[in-house]
Chain A
Amino acid sequence: MAELHLPTTLLPLFPELPRQLDVDAPTVDAALDHLDERWPGLRERLCERKTILRPHINVYVDRRRAELDTELSEGSRVDVIAAISGG
């Protein structure tokens, strides 16, 4: 299980979406698919054209900048950050 932390800006869009949850997935990409099954449309809010992280969405796995294909390990911490984007 990886420990996934989501940006607060997502919470109003998806009923019962928690800020933090555990996900059993081998990669960041698979983790997002997992979330999208439970909360349809969530992946679209983080990725454009299905396969590209949005420009101001940053993902970190165990504090290191990650991409969709970054692998997850048991106990990995995944932070999805809505990065600084204007005033």
Chain B
Amino acid sequence: MPQTIVLVGTRKGCFVLESNGDRRDWNVRGPYCESWPIYHAIYDAESGDIYAAAASEWHGATVWRSSDLGETWESSSEGLGYGEGESAPKLSKISGLTAAHGRLLAGVETPGIFESRDKGKTWSLFSTLDGMPGREGWNDPANQPPGHLGLPAILPHPDEASHFWAVVQGIGIFETTDDGASWTPRNKGLRADWPLEDPSVGYCVHKLVMSPVDISRMYQQNHVGMHRSDDGGNSWNEITEGLPTEFGFAAATHPHDRDTFYVIPLDGGHGRTMPDGKAAVWRTRDAGSSWQRLDQGLPQVDAHLGVLREGMAIDREDTPGLYFGTSTGQVFASVDEGDSWDEIASYLPAISSVEVAQVA
């Protein structure tokens, strides 16, 4: 029987939650990766490998790999760096991993993309998006943490290996159709509540997702508002109305319906937790024209939960399951498209990422 596994990246290692086909009973394994801080753990369906992007305060950034669903792990950072000495940009963190078309791509901080074609054993610099508007300022140490100027997400085209989108924090979305040889900003129509020197960039994109059934349909949770694109990211329309806040990080698209989409609104100040201490996921079934609050089974008293940009995932079952992990170590799951929820892990370390996969 196929298993469902949920990969949970936490402040203290990677965990694997596993269930049989009904997705009701869950077993928690971990912590893995020697309890290094994990920023994004993914499953590569092509190879069956798990990869986990890590950054240790002591020992730097690396990528862990397991080829046996988490039982054993090895790590490598060979080639993950910008060069020698003080003049080279510092690679402080691997923010996001993508496996597609036979290779791994890693988005890193200071902003750049590295690739591996040998299952993460060795890496090489793929692109730093040179030539994009304002690019010369991205590596300025003043723009590094706490500004967190990194490259947290790479969204691959499902069929075209040389075509993908990259998100640079605080800058926006960039598209390449020639394997990184050239890039185009894709931020038209986005809102910015701050001055922009160049209107093509300067947008704070928190999460970019694409409908698996219609790649022209994209959604994004932005620092200021929810947005939808009907033309593959070439232009954006705001769909915030009906949501309790315009701020949030996590988002997920329905695997079979281009108009159904999930977000987790958060208070946008220092707290960045669910409004009023009441946990909820919000769903649209009409591409953002209206929104429904989904909270059955979620805590509604003193539940000051945060969920980060990679903190929600959706599986591809006929009735898809939703999963999200919190900054306080809970994982919640729904097997009825968000109508009701169960807590499937309660006391994990602070969660950075949640991904789901079906394995044989």
A residues adjacent to B (C-beta < 8 A): 7, 9-10, 12-13, 40-41, 44-46, 48-52, 54-57, 82-83, 85-86
Q: What separation, in Å, do the CA atoms of A9 and B59 have in the docked complex? A: 9
**What is the distance, in angstroms, from B52's C-beta to the closest C-beta of chain A?**
14
B85 interface residue, CB < 8 Å from A?
A: yes
Contact of A41 among B34, B56, B77, B85 (CB under 8 A): B77
B76 interface residue, CB < 8 Å from A?
A: yes
**In the complex where A13-B75, A41-B76, A44-B77 touch, is A86 in contact with B57 (Cβ < 8 A)?**
yes
Apart from A9-B34, A48-B90, 20 more pairs, CB < 8 Å: A10-B59, A41-B77, A44-B60, A44-B81, A46-B59, A48-B60, A48-B81, A48-B91, A49-B81, A49-B82, A49-B85, A50-B84, A51-B85, A54-B58, A54-B59, A55-B57, A56-B58, A82-B58, A82-B59, A85-B57
Provide the B1-40 mask, 1 if CB < 8 A to any CB of A, else 0.
Answer: 0000000000000000000000000000000001000000
Please name all residues of chain B whose beta carbon is closer than 8 Å to the beta carbon of A56 when the two chains form the complex.
57-58
**What is the distance, in angstroms, from B337's C-beta to the closest C-beta of chain A?**
38
**In the complex where A41-B76, A44-B77, A49-B83 touch, is A57 in contact with B58 (Cβ < 8 A)?**
yes
Please name all residues of chain B whose beta carbon is closer than 8 Å to the beta carbon of A55 when the two chains form the complex.
57
B78 interface residue, CB < 8 Å from A?
A: yes
User: Quick one: closest A residue to B84, CB to CB?
Assistant: A50
- Whether the Cβ atoms of A52 and B85 lie closer than 8 Å is yes
3 nearest A-B pairs in the assembled complex, by CB-CB distance: A85-B57, A50-B84, A45-B59
Please name all residues of chain B whose beta carbon is closer than 8 Å to the beta carbon of A41 when the two chains form the complex.
76-78
Q: What separation, in Å, do the CA atoms of A56 and B57 have in the docked complex? A: 7
Q: What separation, in Å, do the CA atoms of A55 and B83 have in the docked complex? A: 17
- Whether the Cβ atoms of B59 and A49 lie closer than 8 Å is no
User: Quick one: closest B residue to A54, CB to CB?
Assistant: B60
- Whether the Cβ atoms of A50 and B78 lie closer than 8 Å is no
User: Quick one: closest A residue to B80, CB to CB?
Assistant: A44
**What is the distance, in angstroms, from A29's C-beta to the closest C-beta of chain B?**
13
Please name all residues of chain B whose beta carbon is closer than 8 Å to the beta carbon of A9 when the two chains form the complex.
34, 56, 58-59
User: Quick one: closest A residue to B92, CB to CB?
Assistant: A48
Please name all residues of chain B whose beta carbon is closer than 8 Å to the beta carbon of A57 when the two chains form the complex.
58-59
Q: What separation, in Å, do the CA atoms of A44 and B59 have in the docked complex? A: 8
Can you offer 23 A-B residue contacts whose CB atoms are under 8 A?
Answer: A9-B34, A9-B58, A12-B34, A13-B34, A13-B59, A44-B77, A44-B78, A45-B60, A46-B59, A48-B81, A48-B90, A49-B85, A49-B90, A50-B81, A50-B85, A51-B84, A51-B85, A56-B57, A56-B58, A57-B58, A82-B58, A83-B58, A86-B57
Q: What separation, in Å, do the CA atoms of A12 and B88 have in the docked complex? A: 29
**What is the distance, in angstroms, from B266's C-beta to the closest C-beta of chain A?**
24
**What is the distance, in angstroms, from A16's C-beta to the closest C-beta of chain B?**
14
Q: What separation, in Å, do the CA atoms of A10 and B58 have in the docked complex? A: 10
B193 interface residue, CB < 8 Å from A?
A: no
CB contacts under 8 Å to A, within B66-108, are: 75-78, 81-86, 88, 90-91
Please name all residues of chain B whose beta carbon is closer than 8 Å to the beta carbon of A45 when the two chains form the complex.
58-60
Provide the B47-65 mask, 1 if CB < 8 A to any CB of A, else 0.
Answer: 0000000001111100000
Please name all residues of chain B whose beta carbon is closer than 8 Å to the beta carbon of A51 when the two chains form the complex.
84-85
- Whether the Cβ atoms of B86 and A52 lie closer than 8 Å is yes
User: Quick one: closest A residue to B82, CB to CB?
Assistant: A49
Please name all residues of chain A whose beta carbon is closer than 8 Å to the beta carbon of B88 when the two chains form the complex.
49
Q: What separation, in Å, do the CA atoms of A48 and B77 have in the docked complex? A: 11
Q: What separation, in Å, do the CA atoms of A54 and B92 have in the docked complex? A: 10
Contact of B58 among A7, A44, A52 (CB under 8 A): A7
